[in-house]
Each structure stands twice: as C-alpha cells, then as structure tokens.
A and B are shown apart, each in its own frame.
Chain A
Amino acid sequence: MPTKPDTALSSPRQTEAVLDIRQLSVHFDLGGNLLGRLFGRGGGRVRAVDGVNLSLQRGEVVGLVGESGSGKSSLGRALLGLAPISEGSIWFRGQDLATLSGRRLRELRRHVQMVFQDPSAALNPAMTVEQAVTDPLRIHGVPAGERRPRVVEALERVGLSPVELFLSKYPSDLSGGQKQRVVIARAIIMDPAVLIADEPISMLDMSVRAKILTLMLDLKDQLDLTYVYITHDLASAKFFCNRIAIMYLGRIVEIGDTNEIFENPRHPYTRALLAAIPDPDPSRPKTADLLRGEIPDASRPPSGCSFHPRCPVAFDRCGWEPRDLVATLEGHWLRTSPSTYDLERSRIANLDDISADGGSETVLRPSTDASPTDLVALLSEVRREDQGARFWEGVDEISEEPEGVRVRFHSGEDPVLRRNGDVEVACLLY
C-alpha cells in the first residue's frame, strides 16, 4: 500500500455540503435516584454537545479534536442516531435525520457509517468475519446471491487478502489491526457517503496506526467518502484532516483549515493543545501554555466562557463566578503549609456554600473567631502570593460589610464562534 500522507491536504476542496449539522445538542439526563427525581432534585443534565454547527463538504476530512469528555464521541454518535438529539437538526440529502425515526432512519443510516475506537469490542465475538461483513447487506435486504462477491470485494479493499484466509475466522483469531480492517470493511460495504471514525487508531499498536490511516485515505479517494475524524491527538489530525474543529465542553471553540490551525492557533485552548504535542526537537524552548487543571464537570459548566478557569489569558469579561474564588483559595492552600491552611481555612464559615452559588457576587462570611477585616486581609495575602492568577482580573470589587466580605465579579460574556481571518473562533479576544 503506497504511503501518501499528503493526499488529504492536497485534495481539491468542493463546496457541496454532504452533511449539515445545525445547532445540534445532545443532553444526557443524569439518573439521580427515584426519590430525588420526584422531588425535583434530579441528577442534573450533562450537555455533552451544546449547539454545534458543522457543515461537511464532500470529500473532506474534518477532525474533531479535544480532551476526553469534550463531547466528540457524543457528536459522532448523534450523527448516527446512537446518542439522543435534544435540539437541532442534521440535514442529509434534503432530510433531517434528527426528526426521522424507525425504518426510514435505518434506511438512511447506511449512508453514514462509523469506525469504532476498540475494534475488539465493535465485532460480535460470535460472528465470523464473513458474517460480520455480510450483516449490513442482510439488514438492508441485499439478495443472498449478491452478498458474497461484495463481501470479498470489501475485504480486498481493506487489504485482507487472500480473502479466503479470513472469511471463516472469528475476531479472536485476528490482530488488532486486522480487526479494525474488518470493522472498516463492514462500514464501507453499503457504500456510505460519510464515515465517522471515533479514535480509530488509539487502541492499535504504534506499528499499524499509520497503515490504518493511510488505508482510510486511500478508501476515501476510491469510494468518494467524507470523513469525520475524532481524536484527542492533534498530531494524527494534522496528518489526516483538511479541517479541524477544536471542541471543549460540548462546543466548537475553533474551526478552520488544518494548516491555519497549526500555524496560527488563535483560541487559548487550541494553543494549549498544540503545546502539549510532544516536540521531536528538544532544543526548541517549551512554551508555558500547558493546560492547567482538568476538564470541568460537564453537568455544571463554568459560566461565560467555559474555558475561563483554565485559560492562561482570561480577562475580566470571561465569566468569573463565585466558585472560581473557592478554586483560587484552594490553589493557594495547596502551596502553603498545613498549619497556615488550618488557620486560614478556619476563618471562613461558608466556603462550601459559595461553590454552589451562581450569579456575579458572593459574600465570604467569617467564622466566630474571625472578623470581616481578617478575611479582607486573607484575600489580599492570597492575591499577593498568587501573582499571575487570572482570577483577580475578574474581581470587580471587594467590599467589607458587617456580615462578611462581598466579592463582586465583572459581568461575563459567553463567546460565540466568530470569523477571524481564515478560521472561526469562540473567544472574547477575537
């Protein structure tokens, strides 16, 4: 198989949308217990995908890139009808997949197919290769006589030849790379228009990763496919994609041509992801933009720009809120000695309540053996110790009141995707 890493980048761009995703949201209701739900204290909702717009041009490879938990798989699964669509539409050949159901949807389903992350799990252990690859044909009513040649052709296309050697094998007899080839053969056998590949190489050995990606590029050219490539690995996205959409907490925060994203990243999250790619050249200086902390709980995303708690360049309008104060104090305490922590922590009476507060201000209450003045002093101390913290940009006013210290934040804004140069980016800086 020839290695043609540049086919993806050099293939001509057409302007025909194959799949048009508009304002798509996927929300999961978290269980909670029955009693909780009865009394309205349900487990809350995870906005796994939150109002995503994405239009797939025919023949292109779009990468969905983001940390684990950013909603990439949920978006991909929603395109196949595997995840519940709460809002929005998916237009395909003049029809909205989101509103179709039952037989009609299953029929259209064959035009959008998926390659899964774990090929061992994606194949039924009780089915042979032949049965697995034949099954889409059976499901869609291809006459029994026509199935065999198509299965053989599909297996040959994915490089499993001589085919006779593989037909009667069970998944347990195959290597990871071979299994992924079977999964790909099964996905392409109905001649789909769009293939969604959810981390198709991340469970495979290093040695076969490039081969699978190259195979997928070849198939794209031969079969006129359009890809959605889901990954947390920007390096493979650079190799594979024409366009990259960076996702964070269910939203696209930056989208544009692969070259532009790599050469001129705009969103601070994109920059952080790029900085995290292991650099093969150790002499180059390391940037300090590495991601801090972890991706927040998606059932309660931060207000304003949901990236603001981790953003190294966040400023006053980014959506600061009471729980950021708690996080800042906790960060400070992590750096102090245990005895300082005990002392300072004991002065605040309502720390736990504050993290549950919404809104743009909160009151820090002193415990019985402390006064509001002590708390003001504490905050100044934290601010002095924690020079670089972006949090203080967001604090509008700290006022001492009889019952405690009132901390007011600048009002925040939720950035929307805006065109900037050749890309679109959702950050208040642009």
Chain B
Amino acid sequence: MRGLLNAIVSPFSRTQGVARWMLGVGVAISGVFLVFAIFAPWLAPYGFATFKGPHGDFAKLGHPNSHHWFGTTDLQTDVLSRVIWGSRTALEVVTLAVIASLVIGLVLGILSGYVGGWADRLLVLVMDSLYAFPSFLLAIVCAFLFTNVIGTSVLFFSSGIIAAAMSLTVIYIPQYFRVVRNTTISAKQATYVEAARALGASGGVVMRRYLFGNVIQSVPVIGTLNAADAILTLAGLGFLGIGIQPNEAAEWGYDLQRALDDAGIGVWWTSLYPGLAIVLLVTGLTLVGEGLNETVNPVLRKRRLLPVVMPPRSRDEVSTTTTAPAPSLEGESTT
C-alpha cells in the first residue's frame, strides 16, 4: 500500500519549474471549485431550484443586486446559487466517471496485457473501436441509453448523474486501457517479472505486486486531463438537454443553453457566470494535468487534450476545439 501511495504522490512532489507553477495555479483553481462542491448547501444563498424567498417570488431575469449577486434567471432562480450547486454536479459526475473508467481501464489493461492471446486481441479491438468513435457522439448515445435504463437513483446520486457519469466512463476507459496495456506488455518482459515467476509467484501476484505499481505511474496524468475533458463533455450534454434533468441538479451547460435567448435582450449575467465557471474549472484541471505531464513521463509530453465538440452558439463563434489528436497514442510510443 505504501508503494502505491508513493507511486501516486511522487509525480506531484517531483515537479519543478514551470510545471510546478502550472500545478500550483491549477490546484488552487480546482481547489476553489472543490470547496464550492463540498460546501454548496452552506455557501449557496439559495437552493438550485429555489425561485422564491421569504419576501415572495424572485424577479425574473433580475439584475445583479445585494440579494442576488449574480442576478436571476428567466426561471427566477438565483444564478450564484446555480453556479455553486453546479460545481457539485460537475465534480460528482467527473469524480465518478474518472474513478470508474480508471479502475475498469486499469484492470482490463493489466489483464489484457499480461494474459495476452485472443482475449487481449478482442479487448483491443473493442477498445480501439470505442476510441475511434467521435467521443462526444458516443457520449450522447450512451447518455440516451443509460438515462432510459437507470430509472431510480443509486446510493445518493440521482439517476441523471449516474447516467452522465456512465457515459463519460465509456468514453475514457479506452484511454486508460491502452496506456496500461502497453506499459504492462513492456513491463512484462522485464527481468524482474521473470524473477518473480522464478520465485514461484502466480499470475495474480505478478500482476498485483510487480506490474501494478509500475504501470500506475502514468495514470494520474490521464486522470486529471480526462477530468478537464469530462467537464466540457458534461456541459455539452447538458447544453443538449441530455442526461441530467433540470429538476435533479444544477448544470452549467443546461444553464448556458437557457441563457442563449437572454443574450439577445441585453441580459449578460445568466450566460457569463456559468460560462466562466466552465472555463475556469477546465483551465484549472488542465493546468494540473499538464503540470504533472511535464514531470511524470517525457513520452507523454506530446499529448494534448482530445478534441471536444461543443454545440456552436452562433456562426461567427469558434466553439469547437479543433486540436487534432496526437498521431500516435502515448501508450504506443512506449512499446
């Protein structure tokens, strides 16, 4: 266990220079949103769906004032409260998705890489097809499917949050899978793995004690970069009105979509604040990811964020991130 913790923490402590600076700023920004998410019930002045207070109904599209610092929406809800509650939604979904895809991708990747054979080939085929599929499209399809399948809430997460998290999970599993499988395959050739087998270690022991610790090094980087990507995808889903229902939780993407009409009549506060929240959190997480990236693995350095498609708001605005995917996936270049 100590080794595992060490493996996860060491990339953070080994950073330096620009990377350390990026990491610091990134952690600070993300930390603010984490505080929002955890303490939302105490920080937010109102509930995310509250439209009236002790003095009667809130104004519709009310200007920012001392009661509503960020103004109110066309549904009479408080913008500040929705931004704060929105960070809870975002972090819930992203945490669930990143943990699930990490665990599944890691386990499948180690098994596939270590065992090999036809099971490996089949898994690689499935993962490669998932990976090749445009990720936002895949997220939309999955969100539709899962929303219908999951009727009720699971644990204390509402069904919409679970469905959104599952869709994101499907998108990100292949990334962990590919990196972990490729590192496993190269680590498997290492003499120390052979030495472990010579000691009498079974396949399970080799995977757990000899491969796991060495393979997990590259995972925190992918995790944080995926988290940033997941925020955008989630907002995209919300913008299209898929996944999380408005009565379940506050969601920034959904708010942006509702705010589209307001912009035309000079109401700027309904779109500015949720938009700013998305940009800030994505920037924060990306800084963390890239900061780690610089230190953890020189091979990963060429990696960029995967393309994220956001629905266009208007014609003259470039809202699709068109960063081309790196020609070769990081994992491949390590083999």
Bind each other? yes
Chain A residues in the interface with B (C-beta under 8 A): 77, 80-82, 103, 106-107, 109-110, 113-114, 116, 118, 121-127, 131, 135-136, 139-140, 183, 186, 190
Q: Which residues of B contact A109 (CB under 8 A)?
A: 198-200
CA distance A123 to B190 in the complex (A): 9
Closest to B6 in A: A126
Complex CA gap A109/B205 in Å reads: 15
- Cβ of A121 and Cβ of B190 under 8 Å apart? yes
B residues near A80, Cβ cutoff 8 Å: 197-198
The answer to whether B199 touches A139 (Cβ under 8 A) is yes
Q: Which of B195, B197, B214 contacts A125, CB < 8 Å?
A: B214
The 7 closest A-B pairs by CB, nearest first: A121-B191, A126-B213, A109-B200, A106-B200, A124-B192, A136-B199, A122-B195
Asked whether any CB of chain A lies closer than 8 Å to the CB of B96, the reply is no
Give chain B's interface residue range (CB within 8 Å of chain A): 20 to 34
In the complex, which residues of chain B have a beta carbon less than 8 angstroms from the beta carbon of A136?
199-200
Complex CA–CA separation, A77 to B197 (angstroms): 11
Alpha-carbon distance A317/B201, docked complex (angstroms) = 49
List chain A residues, Cβ under 8 A from B7. 126
Query: Given A82-B194, A121-B190, are A126 and B214 also a contact pair (CB < 8 Å)?
Result: yes
Q: Mark B192-215, 1 if CB is under 8 A from A, else 0.
A: 101111111110010001100110
| Contact (Cβ within 8 A) A127 B3 | yes
| Alpha-carbon gap, A26 to B194, bound state (A) | 17
Report which of A107, A118, A126 forms a contact with B200, defined as CB distance below 8 A.
A107
State in angstroms the CA–CA spacing of A81 and B199 once bound together: 11
Question: Is the pair A110, B199 in contact by a Cβ cutoff of 8 Å?
Answer: yes
- CB pair B200 A82 closer than 8 Å: no
**Which residues of B have CB within 8 Å of A139?**
199-202, 205
Measured CB to CB, the nearest residue on chain B to A171 is B192
Near A by CB (< 8 A), chain B positions 173-198 give 190-192, 194-198
Q: With A and B bound together, what is the CA distance between A109 and B199 in angstroms?
A: 7
Q: Which of B191-243 contact A (CB under 8 A)?
A: 191-192, 194-202, 205, 209-210, 213-214
A122 to B202, CA, bound (A): 17
**CA of A82 to CA of B195 in the docked complex: distance in angstroms?**
9
Apart from A125-B214, A139-B201, 15 more pairs, CB < 8 Å: A80-B197, A82-B198, A109-B198, A114-B198, A121-B190, A121-B191, A121-B192, A122-B191, A122-B192, A122-B195, A126-B213, A131-B3, A136-B199, A186-B195, A186-B199
Asked if B210 and A124 sit within 8 Å, CB to CB, the answer is: yes
CA distance A136 to B196 in the complex (A): 8
Closest CB of chain A to B157's CB: distance in Å?
35
Question: What distance in Å separates the Cβ of A63 from its nearest Cβ neighbour in chain B?
Answer: 20
Interface centre among A77, A122, A131, A183 (most CB of B within 10 A): A122
**How far, in whole Å, are A114 and B190 apart by their CA atoms in the complex?**
15
29 of the cross-chain contacts (CB-CB < 8 Å) are: A77-B194, A80-B198, A81-B197, A82-B198, A106-B201, A109-B198, A109-B199, A109-B200, A110-B199, A110-B200, A113-B198, A114-B195, A114-B198, A118-B191, A121-B191, A122-B192, A124-B196, A124-B210, A124-B213, A125-B214, A126-B6, A126-B214, A127-B3, A127-B209, A135-B199, A136-B199, A136-B200, A139-B199, A183-B195
* Proximity bits, B258-280, A CB within 8 Å = 1, else 0: 00000000000000000000000
Residues of A within 8 A of B205 (CB): 139
* Docked complex: B1-40 residues within 8 A CB-CB of A: 3, 6-7
**Alpha-carbon separation in the docked complex, A168 to B114 (Å):** 29
Is the beta-carbon distance between A82 and B199 smaller than 8 angstroms?
no
Q: Which A-chain residue is minimally distant from B201 (CB atoms)?
A: A139
CA distance in complex: A77, B195 (Å): 10
Could you tell me the distance in whole angstroms from the C-beta of A79 to the nearest C-beta in chain B? Answer: 10
C-alpha spacing A106/B197, complex, angstroms: 8
Q: Which residues of A contact B192 (CB under 8 A)?
A: 121-125
Q: Which residue of A lies closest to B213 (CB)?
A: A126
| B3–A126 CB distance below 8 A | yes
Residues of A within 8 A of B197 (CB): 80-82
Give the CA-CA distance A183 to B192 in the complex, in Å: 10
Residues of B within 8 A of A81 (CB): 197
What chain A residues lie within 8 Å of B213 (beta carbons)? Answer: 124, 126-127
A270 to B275, CA, bound (A): 80
Smallest CB gap from A126: residue in B: B213
Expressed in whole angstroms, the Cα–Cα distance for A110 and B3 within the complex equals 25
Distance A110 CA – B199 CA, assembled complex (angstroms): 6
Tell whether, in the assembled complex, residue B191 and residue A140 are in contact, meaning their CB atoms are under 8 Å apart: no
In angstroms, Cα B198 to Cα A110, docked, is 8
A125 to B200, CA, bound (A): 19
* B200 engages A140 (CB within 8 Å): yes
For A110, the chain B residues whose CB sits under 8 A away are: 199-200
Q: Which residues of A contact B196 (CB under 8 A)?
A: 124, 135
Chain A min CB distance to B265 (Å): 60
With both chains docked as a complex, state the minimum distance between the C-beta of B186 and any C-beta of chain A, in angstroms.
13
In the complex, what residues of A have CB within 8 A of residue B210's CB?
124
CB-CB nearest in chain B for A125: B214
